[in-house]
Amino acid sequence: MTEGVKKPQKKRCPKCHREFPVQSVICDTDSTLLMLVQEDTLLNAVLAEKYRVLNEVGRGGMSVVYKGVQEFVDREVAIKILQSQLVSDPTSVKRFQQEAQAASLLRHENIIKMYDFGIHDGRPYLVMDFLVGDSLSDIIRRDNQVECERALKIFIQATDALAHAHRHGVIHRDLKSSNIMLVDEDGKTDVAKVVDFGIAKLLPNSGRQSQNLTQTGEIFGSPIYMSPEQCMGHILDARSDIYSMGTMFYESLTGYPALMGKTIVETMEMQVRETPKQFTEIRPDLNLPKEVETIIFRALEKKPDNRYQSMEEFRDALVHVSKILANRKTPANPRSTVSNIAAPEKGGQDLSKARINAGAESMKLKDSVAPATNKNLQAQTGTQIKDKSGTVPAIPKPQQPAKPFYENPKVIIILVVVLILVTAGGFLAMQMTGTRF
């Protein structure tokens, strides 16, 4: 079946998306002017004899995305095809081709996978993974913000994906929360997928020829996520993606864009000159970690030289702070526990109480021995050992062991004097009595 446009059969309200008969002019609900709906004959068409188009799932400024199926293998795919009115625009066709080249260079678990590229009735198309999940922007809109631990997990994956892209010479240039999809895959939740390389830039190290579709001074991207140099139309490098990643992380944690004015121009001027509000100012109710805020604000530095110089460096900082926060959250293990001890049988001895009592006695014994041990350590090493109260106990001087009496000079002298006196007394008594030996 060839693609064509048939006579409009109905009209649709662009605001509430209700459909009306073709003769209707204004929506009876919100008074919005109705738009003609043209029949899309691409539906149910088969591309390259293997990809069947099922239904439209999204539409952008340049392309339409359909859900499809790869026949014979029955695999669901997403088919992105250039809008028919842009087929005659060489720049649009080349830009679409460059997206295909960028996607074909990348093989990473956190980047959407491209399967095929072709042309159908003069319209180029891409065949990619069909992702079932929510975009990061959907989650922020639904939950008002993303919990810090979850956000770290998401952005560690996203920065790793962009580090891979940068190594292969591909700069995304359109990073925003709607271009990060979160899916369940291989039993894991919140698997991040970076999508839409529609305005990606190919650097010389990509090995592919860049089409030079963006001239100096020409601006592409989404203003609330654009780097200062991107807002000013300067030549971009990987550090522009780092800034955009920082704006997404800020928005995820706080629920608010880092910088947003009343108009597009005002927002772009703010990106060039102003600094986002601190977390404590914009969301004082959340108590967000200061370490994470420091990382994000470095990524949001106005001058590229003051940011992280590579996406790997940004990723490593996130991994490091994630480990710090995980260790801070984990309670310390108790030194000893008594659990899972079987109850005593009727009439038998309560072994659990016996073990507890024995342990208590053992602890008492250890406590009674500990002071002596501490004193010995102090005497030997000169180190002050503090007791449980935090004070340094006094150290008594060690007592010298008693020497034998015959090694004491004073005792010997006394014994000699006593012996002399006794002998002299004996002689005196003998002379007085006239006794002889």
* Same domain, residue pair 199 and 212: yes
* Same domain, residue pair 107 and 185: no
Query: Can you give the C-alpha Rg of the chain in angstroms?
Result: 42
Question: Is residue 134 annotated as part of the catalytic site, yes or no?
Answer: no
* Same domain, residue pair 180 and 95: no
Asked whether residue 230 is domain-assigned, the answer is yes
Which residues neighbour 71 within 8 Å (Cβ) at sequence distance 6 or greater?
46, 50, 51, 52
State pLDDT tens for residues 101-159. Answer: 888 889 999 999 999 999 999 999 999 999 999 999 999 999 999 999 999 999 999 99
* Same domain, residue pair 178 and 117: no
- Catalytic option among 160, 174, 196, 241: 174
Q: At what angle do helices 311-329 and 148-167 cross, to 10 degrees?
A: 160
Domain that includes residue 89, residue range: 40-129
Supply the pLDDT for residue 256: 97
Supply the pLDDT for residue 294: 98
Residue 208 DSSP symbol: S
Task: Please say whether the beta carbons of 98 and 211 come within 8 A.
Answer: yes
Asked whether residue 24 is domain-assigned, the answer is no
State pLDDT tens for residues 26-44. Answer: 988 888 888 787 777 799 9
* Same domain, residue pair 144 and 47: no
* Same domain, residue pair 194 and 304: yes
Sheet of strand 46-47, all strands in order from the earlier edge strand to the far edge: 46-47, 51-59, 63-70, 75-82, 123-129, 114-120
What CATH number is associated with residue 59?
3.30.200.20
Separation in Å, CA 386 to CA 186, 326, 372: 55, 33, 13
Scored b (16 or more CB within 10 A) or e, 85-107 reads: ebbeeeebbebbbbbbbbbebbe
* Same domain, residue pair 149 and 69: no
Tell me how far apart the alpha carbons of residues 270 and 224 are, in angstroms, rounded to a whole number. 9
Asked whether residue 416 is domain-assigned, the answer is no
Supply the pLDDT for residue 46: 95
Strand 10-12 and strand 180-185: the pairing is: unpaired
Asked whether residue 8 is domain-assigned, the answer is no
* Same domain, residue pair 68 and 184: no
* Same domain, residue pair 78 and 214: no
Strand 170-171 and strand 201-202: the pairing is: antiparallel
Closest alpha carbon to 192 in 135, 221, 224, 154: 154
Asked whether residue 242 is domain-assigned, the answer is yes
3-state secondary structure of 387: coil
Domain boundary among 113, 129, 145: 129
* Same domain, residue pair 65 and 152: no
Domain boundary among 129, 152, 184: 129
What CATH number is associated with residue 214?
1.10.510.10
Positions in the chain whose pLDDT score sits under 50: 1-5, 208-218, 334, 336-386, 388, 392, 395
Number of domains in the chain: 2
Strand 180-185 and strand 133-135: the pairing is: antiparallel
- pTM comes to 0.68
Residue 30 DSSP symbol: T
| Residue 218: alpha-carbon gap to chain centroid | 34
Q: What is the DSSP string of 138-190?
A: HHHHHHSS--HHHHHHHHHHHHHHHHHHHHTTEE-S---GGGEEEEEETTEEE
Element (H, E) at 434: none
Domain boundary among 129, 148, 167: 129
* Same domain, residue pair 92 and 137: no
